[in-house]
Amino acid sequence: MRSFMIDCQFGTARASFPLYVGEPAVGTHPMEQQSAWLQRVRGGSVPTEVMDAFATLFTIALENNVSFEELCAYAMEQATDNSETTDENDAAPTEADNDSADT
C-alpha cells in the first residue's frame, strides 16, 4: 500500500492529506472509502478531478491487467516530473534553431 499527499478541501482551505492506494475490489471506486471517511471524520473532501483521475487509473489498470498501486505511483511520478521541469528549449527561437532546421 502506498500513500500520496493530495490537496483536499477543508471548508475554504486546501491542505495536503495522505490518501492510501492498494488494490481495490472490482466494481468499487478506488477512493470511495477514504473519501467518505475524510468527509465524515475530518470534514474534508477529495476534489472531484482527483476522484475522477483515480477512477480512470483504476479502469486502465483493470483493462491492462497491471497493478493499480503501481500505475498510480507511475502516474504521480510523471505528474511530479512534468510540474517540476521547465523546458528552456520551448523559449523563443534562436539562431541555432534556424541553423539546425536547414540541415
d(Cα 51, Cα 5) in Å, to the nearest integer?
14
**Cell 521541469, residue located:** 85
Other beta carbons less than 10 A from residue 57's beta carbon: 20
Nearest to 25 by CA among 61, 78, 70, 71: 61
Give the model's pLDDT for residue 83: 72
Give the model's pLDDT for residue 89: 54
pLDDT in single tens digits along all 103 residues of the chain: 999 999 999 999 999 999 999 999 999 999 999 999 999 999 999 999 999 999 999 999 999 999 999 999 999 999 888 777 655 555 555 555 555 455 4
Give the model's pLDDT for residue 85: 64
Q: Domain ranges in the chain?
A: 2-23+30-82
3-state secondary structure of 91: coil
**Cell 477512493, residue located:** 31
